[in-house]
Structure 1
Amino acid sequence: MRFTFTTLCLAAAVLSGCVHKIDIQQGNVVVAEQLAKVKVGMSRPEVRQTLGTPLLADAFHANRWDYFFYNEKKGREIERNKITIHFADDKVTRIDGAAPVAIKGEERK
């Protein structure tokens, strides 16, 4: 009986380190090349065409679009980016944040 209990405890300890952690990639992939095309004075449709649909277009902050990107591999955060585009009269007035040249862990083709 004691041998079985010890064996089970040992097996549980060994297997607890074998948990598979999935890769998580969420949000909008925006790289520096794309962000460089967005200029002050551009319209909302032009920004949407260049960067894609924003991850967050808040009804309470209608003059702000947020582009978030989060990348996690094997349970470890690899990258987190946030870009905010501010509008006034449906034109870009300010761009906050920076985009990476390429997404870490992925090769650009």
Structure 2
Amino acid sequence: MKMISILSTTRSAFLPVFKTRAAKLLLTAGLSISLLSGCSWIEPYKPTLTQGTIISQEALSLLQEGLTKTQARQLFGPPMGEDPFNPNQWDYVFYTTDDSFHPDAIKQLTLQFDADGMISSWNVSDSTPLDLK
């Protein structure tokens, strides 16, 4: 009988500690799961990305055959890409993730120069050259 009373007092002494530890463990697990799932609810900040040369319709209207490379550079600025294998081709590219920032800007302009360094032709494309979204 004495043995049973020792076990019952020992069991009752450890029972509140077990409940507290179990509650703490359950609370910790619940908080961890809610914090990990919370990452999917919050979208990270994505800054506006704008790259390239803004070419307006006005500047494009001044473009004509026979302009020199110097005049083209004064009109549009330095090209974004010069092909080392074809130095007579200049590419101007404009990209932005903000649709309200210069919505009328030309997205891509390619200038072709002849052997004398004069503009012989050009190509305008309003499609986005790279899809970075």
Matched, 1:93 2:114: no
Q: Between the two proteins, what is the percent identity of the paired residues? A: 24
SS in 1 for 2:82: coil
Higher helix share: 2
Q: Who is 1:34 aligned against?
A: 59
Higher strand share: 1
Moved segments of 4+, more than 4 Å: none
Which of 80, 83, 88 does residue 55 from structure 1 map onto? 80
Letter in 2 for 1:67: Y
TM-score normalised by the chain length of structure 1: 0.76
Q: Who is 2:28 aligned against?
A: 4
Letter in 2 for 1:41: G
Matched, 1:44 2:69: yes
SS in 1 for 2:51: strand
Q: Who is 1:106 aligned against?
A: none
Give the greater-gyration-radius structure (CA).
2
Q: Contact between 1:70 and 1:80, CA under 8 Å: does it hold in 2?
A: no
Alignment of 1:11-30 (within 5 A): 11-16=35-40, 17-30=42-55
User: Which 5+ residue runs of structure 1 have no aligned equivalent?
Assistant: 100-109
- For the aligned residues, what is the CA RMSD? 2.1
Alpha carbons of structure 1 residues 80 and 71: separation in structure 2 relative to 1, 3 Å: farther
Q: Who is 1:64 aligned against?
A: 89
Matched, 1:84 2:92: no
TM-score normalised by the chain length of structure 2: 0.63
Q: Who is 1:104 aligned against?
A: none
